[in-house]
Amino acid sequence: MADATPSIAEQATIWRKLVAARIRADWQYRTSFVLFTVSQFVAAFVDIAVVLVLFTNVDRLAGWSVAEVAFLYGTASLAFGLADVFVSEVEFVAHHIRHGSFDRFLLRPVGPLLLLSGHEFAFRRAGKVFQAALVLAVAVTQVDVGWDAARVAMVVQMVVVGFLIFSGIWVVTSSIAFWAVEIREVANSFTYGGNFLAHYPMEIFSGWLRRLATIVPLAFVSYYPALWVLGRNDPHGSPAWLRFAGPLVAAGVVLVARAVWSSGIRHYRSTGS
Amino acid sequence: MALIRLEAVEREFAVHQRVGRVRRRRQVVRAVDGISFDVSAGEIVGYIGPNGAGKSTTIKMLTGILMPTAGTVRVDGLDPQRARTELAMRIGVVFGQRNQLWWDLPLRDSFELLRHVYRVPAARHAGRLAEFVDLLDLGPFLDTPVRQLSLGQKMRGEITAALLHDPSILYLDEPTIGLDVVSKSRVREFLARVNRELGVTVILTTHDLSDVERLCSRVMVIDLGRLVYDGTVDDLKARHGQYRTLVVDLEAPNGPLAVDGAEVVRVEGPRQWLRFHRDRKTAAELIADIARITPVVDLTVEEPRIEDVIALLYGRAEKD
């Protein structure tokens, strides 16, 4: 008999097989599969159009140039898109709890998060990732920055930290389903709403929204590290170390998410027979 | 050493009832109320009880899905809730009304996916699958999408899916629900073989008592969260089935017969059902008594049915 816990490589294989099965299953309904995928890709580009329209009316947004905002937008969107592809499936936990099908996820020798991620994978969510990568690539060439190794590393770190923070928020908000079943809207206001917040310079938001973004900690996804990469000052005078606090914040978010999720599993009460 | 051991296990659920428009009253329901039992390796146990008795709750605690409110559960030396993923390798579970197969994919694909989830080497998987295909005659629909399978075919697929990783314990929650007579007997035959030949310990909940009579060496009856019987099917009948029923067809309809030591439980035109205690009166005495009152045309004696025996047990628990 195999070891109790599968290795990372084995988990990756399981995930790949589940995703392949999911895509094959979705492909049974070809028309909706194609339509959904195309519409999501289109929607992703409409998003950029919104930003461009904004800048045809103003040159700068709270002192930020188009390229700089695009840089914020690109890093945050890429992080968000990756979390959307790999982790957002966790929100289906509410659906499975309600329909009594969550039991099955707990009966496998693999973590339920991995199974959910594979099971509920949707190819169409990848649209955002391509779009965000494109925006970021363009922004990087347009911003007035002397690129060195440290700055490049920081961009990578922003995406990784952002991915972890968005993922953590998704897990935490989805976990509410263990205590109260119908919560998808609450979760979405944090994740999709959070993504929106992270697209723009914090200066344009009112004070309470800014504080919320620091607490929830979306400001660490793109804004604070971007200040450093772009060599800008925070008009609100936040301490300099905040620009490098991302990894620490991400680690904290991941730990909290893990604790909330496992506490949720312990509270899980299944449905009658 | 017991493979499965429950000691004074309890599970409570908080239920919120609406009182008035907004206010809700919180009420604690004890679904499982102090259950203890041991199951040894190789047993095949029927776990029965009325709806809401706590059967599924018990099974879910055995698999680690639910945490007991009090008491201890040990399965193969593990605490199911703490070591859930580890235990998953050693158990197979079939929930009769839940589906673990990939709905839109051929049955074969589900088996292949589960092979990866349980990390079964390809060669061993192929051998085992071939065995099940043969035993359960899965061949004709192995490449059919699950959504197009009949209920019986699906159940055979489900049981195979639960056994492919070679578990030592198989839990089945209502495995024959909704199946026709042929599929039912096929599933039963297969479960008996799995138990006998592969040595898999089987625990099944059911409403169909013929499942229990055909399959189980041991039966546990649960009612209102408590174990009201634990023993063999024969013992259950002998101990609690002291009442036999005499069915008499009278020449003409009659009011309920007043006979010493027997009680009329049902009247249908000229036919009457009389229940009597097997130690207090013989069938012959009872027939003689009735013949003295009114002429009898025909008669039969019914032995206790397991349903009736169990109905008596349920009633008893309620009175406690």
What is the distance between the alpha carbons of residues A154 and B193, in angstroms, rounded to a whole number?
Answer: 62
> Comparing C-alpha atoms, which of A172, A193, A132, A137 is closest to residue A252?
A172
Calculate mean pLDDT across residues A128-149: 88
Nearest to A25 among B97, B104, B116 (CB): B104
Closest B-chain CA to A25: B104
- Residue B15 near chain A (CB below 8 Å): no
pLDDT the model gives residue A2: 46
Nearest to B67 among A13, A104, A266 (CB): A266
pLDDT tens for chain B, 320 residues long, are: 689 999 999 998 887 777 777 777 788 888 899 999 999 999 999 998 887 788 889 999 999 999 999 999 999 999 998 999 999 999 999 986 778 888 899 999 999 999 999 999 999 999 999 999 988 889 999 999 999 999 889 999 999 999 999 999 999 988 888 888 888 888 899 999 999 988 999 999 988 888 888 899 899 999 889 998 999 888 887 776 778 889 999 988 888 888 888 889 889 989 999 988 888 888 899 999 998 988 999 999 887 777 777 777 776 544 44
Q: Is B95 in Cβ contact with A269 (below 8 Å)? A: no
Q: How many CB atoms lie within 10 A of CB B72?
A: 12
Q: How confident is residue A273, by pLDDT bands cut at 50, 70 and 90?
A: very low
Cα A186–chain centre separation: 16
Calculate mean pLDDT across residues A192-210: 72
pLDDT the model gives residue A182: 53
Evaluate whether residue A38 is within a structural domain: yes
A81-95 pLDDT, tens digit per residue, is 999 999 999 989 988
> Comparing C-alpha atoms, which of A237, A230, A269 is closest to residue A67?
A230
What is the distance between the alpha carbons of residues B239 and A204, in angstroms, rounded to a whole number?
Answer: 81
Residues of B in contact with A264 (CB under 8 A): none
Does the pTM exceed 0.90?
Answer: no
Retrieve residue A101's tokens.
């099908």
Nearest to B93 among A6, A17, A107 (CB): A107
Residues of B in contact with A273 (CB under 8 A): 51, 55-56, 97, 173-174
Residue in A29, A30, A103, A266 to test binding to B, most B beta-carbons within 10 Å = A103
Which range marks the domain in which residue A240 is found?
8-267
**Is the predicted pLDDT of residue A179 greater than 90, yes or no?**
no
Residue that wins the pLDDT comparison between A210 and B256: B256
pLDDT the model gives residue A185: 59
Q: How many residues does chain B have?
A: 320
pLDDT the model gives residue A187: 62
Evaluate whether residue A69 is within a structural domain: yes
Residues of B in contact with A106 (CB under 8 A): 63-65, 84
Evaluate whether residue A3 is within a structural domain: no
Calculate mean pLDDT across residues A11-35: 90
Residues of B in contact with A108 (CB under 8 A): 85, 88, 117-118
Cis bond upstream, residue B50 (ω within 30):
no
- Residue A266 near chain B (CB below 8 Å): yes
- Residue B17 near chain A (CB below 8 Å): no
Residues contacting B176, CB < 8 A, separation 6+: B96, B155, B183, B184, B187, B188, B206, B208, B211
Q: Mean of the per-residue pLDDT values for chain A?
A: 84
Q: Among A149-153, A204-208, B65-69, B294-298, name the one with the lowest average pLDDT.
A: A204-208
Q: Is B13 in Cβ contact with A21 (below 8 Å)? A: no
pLDDT the model gives residue A233: 78
Evaluate whether residue A272 is within a structural domain: no
Q: Domains in chain A: how many in total?
A: 1
Which phi and psi angles does B116 have, rounded to 5°? -70, -40
pLDDT the model gives residue B254: 84
Evaluate whether residue A141 is within a structural domain: yes
Evaluate whether residue A2 is within a structural domain: no
**Is the predicted pLDDT of residue A64 greater than 70, yes or no?**
yes
CB-count exposure of residue B319 (10 Å: 0-12, 13-18, 19+): exposed
| DSSP strands (E only) in chain A | none
Handedness of CA A137, A141, A144, A150 (dihedral sign): positive
Q: Among A134-143, A214-223, B34-43, B192-201, name the one with the lowest average pLDDT.
A: A214-223
Residues of A in contact with B93 (CB under 8 A): 107
Residues of A in contact with B100 (CB under 8 A): 104, 107
Residue in B119, B146, B222 to test binding to A, most A beta-carbons within 10 Å = B119
**Is the predicted pLDDT of residue A23 greater than 50, yes or no?**
yes
Residue in B117, B148, B163 to test binding to A, most A beta-carbons within 10 Å = B117
* CB B186, CB B152: distance < 8 Å: yes
Q: Is A108 in Cβ contact with B88 (below 8 Å)? A: yes
Q: Is B253 helix (H, G, I), strand (E, B) or coil?
A: coil
Evaluate whether residue A1 is within a structural domain: no
Q: Is A21 in Cβ contact with B113 (below 8 Å)? A: yes
pLDDT the model gives residue A184: 56
Domains of chain B: 4-238 (3.40.50.300), 242-303 (3.30.70)
Residue in A108, A110, A119 to test binding to B, most B beta-carbons within 10 Å = A108
CB-count exposure of residue B98 (10 Å: 0-12, 13-18, 19+): middle
